[in-house]
Amino acid sequence: MAPISIDDLEKMKKAVLFDDNDVKALKRAGEILEGQIEEILDLWHGFVGSHPHLVHYFADKKSGQSDSEYLARVRKRFGQWIKDTCTRPYDQDWINYQYEIGLRHHRSKKNKVDSVDSVDIVPLRYMICFIYPITATIRQFLEKGAESSEEVDQMFHGWFKSVTLQVALWSYPYATQGDW
């Protein structure tokens, strides 16, 4: 169980202005994105793959070679995450999984699920930077199924808030001595 409560989450939601309208907008986004998951993952994969300093975190620690099997297995979980972000209730089970995702980027648990010998940790600075590309690139996919630009905006902002909220949750293991 995560050391993060529903009360912590509720306060964080308020801090990022996430409310029931965002829940509704994300539900609609889930319907639109569902049929485009592979294209979204291709785009993100291409983004990471085109930057050696980012693909480094999917590389074998000793040889420095990118581990395509590791990438493929993470890609599958990433696809599930897109759906979860849009449709799962943000309850204690969800918080617990958020905590787990944070650990899996941190040295506490990175590489464990896939039994790989990759680099030890995704640095916090890149976790934070990624909020922008993960958000900016989703817009074109939302536009494909939306009925109006207003609807695109609502879904886009719901997504942006949720990704920000999640990265804030994932930062837990990075902040020590009670600083989180």
Sign of the alpha-carbon dihedral angle for 170, 173, 174, 179: positive
Q: Closest separation between CB of residue 136 and ligand HEM, Å? A: 11
Burial of 180 (C-beta count, 10 Å sphere; 0-12/13-18/19+)? middle
CB of 37 to ligand HEM, least distance (A): 12
DSSP 99: H
CA distance 94 to 59: 29
Interface region with ligand HEM, contact rule CB under 6 A, candidates 20-28, 29-37, 76-84, 153-161:
76-84
Residue 7 vs 53, nearer CB to ligand HEM:
53
List binders of ligand HEM among 80-109 (CB under 6 A).
Answer: 81, 101, 104-105
8 Å CB contact between 54 and 48 = yes
Considering beta carbons, is residue 51 or 176 the nearer one to ligand HEM?
Answer: 51
d(CA 86, CA 40): 14
| Window 29-48: contact mask with ligand HEM (x via CB under 6 A) | -------------------x
Among 37, 78, 139, 153, binds ligand HEM (CB under 6 A): 78
Residue (52 or 149) nearer to ligand HEM, CB: 52
**How far apart (Å, rounded) are the C-alpha atoms in residues 162 and 167?**
9
Footprint on residues 3-22 left by ligand HEM (CB under 6 A): none
- C-beta separation of 85 from 26 below 8 A: yes
Residue 118: strand, helix, or coil: strand
Residues 138-177 that bind ligand HEM (CB under 6 A): 163, 167
Contact residues toward ligand HEM (CB under 6 A) are 48, 54, 57-58, 74, 77-78, 81, 101, 104-105, 110-111, 113-114, 122, 126-127, 130-131, 134, 163, 167
